[in-house]
Amino acid sequence: MDTKSEPAAPVDIKANTQALELNITWPGGRVDRFHFVELRASCPCASCVDEWTGERILNPASIPRDIRIAAMQLVGNYALKIAWSDGHDTGLFTWKKLRELGSEQGG
């Protein structure tokens, strides 16, 4: 694995159902907090983003405000698969994607 392109795996991943956020702790201590609605809206799968144009297909307004993570599964040592309470479960959030999203929100 090219460590320059793929960040190291998180040291802790927790869904905080009271705050409606996913908390990810990275090596070195950085913690990124992703509100469930915003994370669901950032899903990179082909159902949410056009594979050819990269244009977002998913309308963020269609996401239930009380959406929850129904289940999470590690995929290899590079991604997290999230099953959402709205039935969506095809998105893979790579460590790289999650680090980018965390940086965009100031993490």
- Which domains occur in the chain, in start order? 12-104 (3.30.2020.30)
Which residues make beta-bridge pairs with 73?
Answer: 81
Instruction: Indicate if the pLDDT at residue 105 is higher than 80.
Output: no
**Cβ of 79: how many Cβ atoms within 10 Å?**
20
Each residue's pLDDT tens digit, 41-91: 999 999 999 999 999 999 999 999 999 999 999 999 999 999 999 999 999
Distances (CA, A) of 30 to 25, 27, 38, 48, 99: 6, 7, 19, 28, 10
Going by the DSSP 8-state scheme, the letter that residue 22 receives in this structure is E
Distance of CA 98 to the CA centre of its chain: 6
Q: What is the pLDDT of residue 6?
A: 73
CA 9 to chain centre: 13
| pTM to 2 decimal places | 0.88
- Interval 30-39: pLDDT, tens: 999 999 999 9
